[in-house]
Amino acid sequence: MEALSLPINTLTNSSAKQHIYLSASSNYASLSSSLQLNPSLPTRPLTLRKSAVRVQAENEDFELKQMRDMAAARKRWEALIRDGKIKVLTPREAGYAVQLSNKPLLDVRPSNEHKKAWVRASTWIPIFDVDNKLDFGTIPRKVTSFVMGGWWSGMPTLSYDSQFLAKVEEKFPKDAELIVVCQKGLRSLAACELLYNAGYKNLFWVQGGYEAAEEEDLIVEGPMPLKFAGIGGVSEFLGKLKR
């Protein structure tokens, strides 16, 4: 599961939390045991145990905040759809609108997904993109993302692009009928909320994203099938072996 920085966070689950806790505890415990065999390092194990407790507490606090933020975001998004402020399209309906009515399709996926497959004539402006920074603030998030399945799915750590709205406003006027899409539908909902609050009132959200699309729904370009563009890492490698 990808890890997103502010303003929208992904939802974690209890099994992932337990996995992180067990992995961190076992690693620190084994390291502490080996250090205790060395009499010249009497205080090191205690320091490591304190560090492990602090890291565990910080991870749990971060996960709880993510859960609260995500629950609040879902309520806002449901209200926007329920009140008709954001209209819902299936991928096939979106394809008809793009091909027959020439409505603009705004692809908000990160670069690692977009480069694998995209819809012809769509506009790509990612709301979150791959975070390649390696500083004190990003390393813990990258480690957490890896432990929570990044090793399998290949999902990188993503960061919110603070210039997203400015980039959209450069391309589209506020009265444009924008069809907003991502790979699974979650990030495009976040984008719709930002766009609506910025004054865009003719928004259409593609429910289920590209993963819900069939081959005939949209005119696709790129080296991979559109619905598989969100797959990476070990799972992508195994999928290629099967093909």
Q: Which residues are catalytic?
A: 182
- Report the helix count and the strand count for the chain, using DSSP H and E: 9, 9
Place of tokens 């996926």: 109
| Locus of tokens 């859960």 | 67
Q: Which two tokens stand for residue 197?
A: 């609050």
**Quick one: tokens of 139?**
């390393």
Please tell me whether the peptide bond between 173 and the residue prior to it is cis, using omega within 30 degrees of 0. no
Measured between alpha carbons, how far is residue 2 from residues 36, 43, 164, 182, 232 in Å? 37, 37, 19, 14, 11
Is the Cβ–Cβ distance between 130 and 112 less than 8 Å?
A: yes
CA-closest candidate to residue 203, choices 86, 80, 76: 86
For 180-224, give the DSSP string.
EE-SSSHHHHHHHHHHHHTT---EEEETTTGGG--TTTS-EESSS
CA distance 111 to 128: 9
Helix (H) or strand (E) holding 226: none
Cβ of 18: how many Cβ atoms within 10 Å?
10
